[in-house]
Amino acid sequence: MDNSDFVSLWIGNINSKDHLDLYTELKYTDEGEWLPSPFLVDFNIDIDDFDEDFLERVYHENKVDTLKNLISGCSYESIVIPKLVSLFSNKLPVNTNSAVLIYNLKYSGSIKEIEHDEISFKYVGTLQYR
């Protein structure tokens, strides 16, 4: 299935930008094999369905209360933000400091939310952006 026109969004809280980078970063073995990031493992995303070039991370030192403020500046923001706001509301359920957007992935939503080790993320949804 062609997922090139979709973006999937997760929002949450994490204690630092460095921690967010480590949480979402792919690792490589000495043999050059990819290892999934903790984020991919938590949300049961197959590493073969994912291209790290299309992952975008957002981190704010201070928590924000609107989706627009959270992901302002993201790729395709003039399309993505209005569609997300119309589908899911601009007001966030809790103040949030982080977001993960993965373009060209139509996430199944099999895992909706995770919380552990000072990390909490919730799958918001997937939408067509092109």
Copy the structure tokens of residue 5: 């026109």
**pLDDT for position 18:** 97
Query: Mind listing the pLDDT tens digit for each residue in 75-92?
Result: 999 999 999 999 888 999
Domain boundaries, the chain: 6-25+35-128
Query: Mind listing the pLDDT tens digit for each residue in 24-51?
Result: 999 888 888 889 999 999 999 998 888 8
Helix (H, G, I), strand (E, B) or coil at 86: helix
Residue 27 to residue 21: CA distance in whole angstroms: 11
Closest CA to 14 of 38, 46, 44: 38
| pTM of the predicted structure, to 2 decimals | 0.93
Q: Is residue 71 within 8 Å of residue 99, measured between CB atoms?
A: yes
Closest CA to 95 of 120, 77, 123, 73: 120
